[in-house]
Amino acid sequence: MLSMNNQIHIIGAGIMGLMIARNLLAAGRQVLLYDKGKVGAESSWAGGGILSPLYPWRYPQPVTELALRSQALYPGIVRQLYKNTGIDPELAQTGMLVLSVADLGIIHDWAAHYHVKYRVSNQADISQIEPNLTPSLIRQALIFPDIGHIRNPRLISALRADLLQNGCELRENTEITAIDLHNNKPRKLVTTRGDINTEQVIVCAGAWTSKLLKGLGFGIPIEPVAGQMLMYKAKPGLVNHIILNKKRYLIPRLDGRVLVGSTLENAGFNKFTTDEARESLQNTAVEMVPALADYKIEAQWAGLRPGSPRGIPYMGGYPGIENLWVCSGHFRNGLVLAPASAEFMTALVLGQETNFNQPEFALDRAS
C-alpha cells in the first residue's frame, strides 16, 4: 500500500490538473484529482483549442517558450491517448492565417530567433487556399503552416479515460473550500463532502485559484475573464485554416463545424451568454466568410479564463509553505501551454531539474 507521502492531491481537473496528474502517475505517484464540477467543464472545455497564442510574436518570452515546447509535445501525447483510450482528440495541423498584420519587422526577427516557419502571402495566393474568405480582407496575410488546433472536449474525454485506466482517483462535484495547514505544510483539504487528510497539494483551480488561496495570506492576481463563442454547423472545406483577423478567429473542425471566437469580458464569476455577443460574433463570422450566413448557429457558450498580468502563468511552490504548489493563470492559453506547464510542474514536485527559468513563473514575482 502506498504511503500518504506518495499521494499527491490535485485541486482542479481542467487541462492543467489532468496533464499534471498524467505525468505524476507515469512517475509512479498516487494521484487524487478533485473538481468542484465535472472534469474539464470550465475554461478547458470552453476554449477554441488553437495550439498557439493569438499573435504569438507579441507575447513575453516565457509564454513563447512554453508554447513552442507544448507544440512539440502534443503530437506524441495525442497518439498515446488515442492508442490507450480509442478517443481521437482530433489534432489538426491546418496552419494559421493571420490577416491585417502591420509589424512585419518584429515578426521576422521573432520567427528567426525561435525558428518558427511563416510566409507572407498576397490576395491571389490566399484566394486559392481560402476561396470563401472575403477578398477585401486579404491585402496581405501571414501563414504559419505548423500551427494547428485540437478538439478540446475530445482531448478532455481522452485524458479522463486515460487517467482512470492508470489508477487516478477522481472525485468530481467535490469543491475544496480551504486548505488546512500544520507547521506550514498541508494537513487536510476542507471539502463540501468532508475533510480529507493530505500532505502534498497542487492547486490548478483556474479562475478560482485566488479565491481558494485567499485564506493562506499571500495573494496571487488571477481574475476571471469571461469569453463567449459560437459554433456553426457548416461543411468541410468551407474554412480550411485557422483565420485570425482583428483579434477574432475562425476555427475549422474536421467534421466541417466552424467555431467563432471570442469575446473578452470582465464580469467576475458571472458566466452567461448574451444576445449582444452572439450578434457581434455572428457579424465577425459573416464578415470573414459570407457563406457562413447560410449555415445554422448550432451553439453559443461562455467560459471563465484565469486572467493574469501579461498572460504569464503562476507556477511554483507557494511562498512559506512546504509541499503546496500552484499552476494557474494561463489566461487565454491554457490548452496551448498545458503540456509544457505540466512537464515543468512535474519536475518541480518531484525535485527534478527543469529547462525553464523558475523565477519567471514564481508566485511572488514582481508582476
pLDDT of residue 1: 31
pLDDT tens digits, 78-104: 999 999 999 999 999 999 999 988 889
Among 148, 51, 140, 49, which residue's Cα sits nearest to residue 98?
140
CATH H-level, domain 4-56+154-221+310-361: superfamily: FAD/NAD(P)-binding domain (3.50.50.60)
331 confidence band (pLDDT: 50, 70, 90): very high
* Chain center to CA of 95: 18
Beta-bridged to residue 234, according to DSSP, are none
The cell numbers describing 58, all together, are: 507579441
pLDDT of residue 320: 93
CA–CA distance, 9 with 169 (Å, rounded to integer): 10
DSSP 128-162: HH-TTS-GGG-SEEEEETT--B--HHHHHHHHHHH
pLDDT tens digits, 51-68: 999 999 999 999 999 999
5 confidence band (pLDDT: 50, 70, 90): low
CATH of domain 96-145+223-307: 3.30.9.10
Q: Where in the chain is the domain with CATH 3.50.50.60?
A: 4-56+154-221+310-361
CA–CA distance, 71 with 83 (Å, rounded to integer): 20
pLDDT of residue 4: 56
Encoded amino acid at 203, one letter: V
